[in-house]
Amino acid sequence: GIFDALTTGSSLGASLRLIRHELIPATLNGMYFWVPVSLSIFTVVPDLWKLFVINIASFLYNILLSLTVTNSGVSDSKLKSS
């Protein structure tokens, strides 16, 4: 948003378009992952294992998120060209 536009030299409009284009899919993907994980953790997983399962799920989600960002090709050049 504003911070990105000020620090990278891209326009505010380009930053807002990128946020709109990336934010909704990222939010939906997070919900597709975390809602089932949360439901299973709080209904199936015993109390002793909840923290461990949450940490494993978080680790896997971070890997998936990194792969998604890497494969989407989001970069500073995309901001400046818009």
pLDDT in tens, 8-28: 777 777 777 777 887 788 888
Closest CA to 77 of 13, 8, 31, 1: 8
**In the block, residue with structure tokens 């998936």:** 64
Distances (CA, A) of 32 to 37, 46, 76: 9, 23, 28
Predicted pLDDT of residue 82: 47
Model pTM score: 0.63
Q: What mean pLDDT is reported for the chain?
A: 81
Amino acid at 77: S
Give percent of the chain with pLDDT exceeding 70: 79
Predicted pLDDT of residue 79: 47
Segment 57-74 mean pLDDT? 84
Amino acid at 5: A
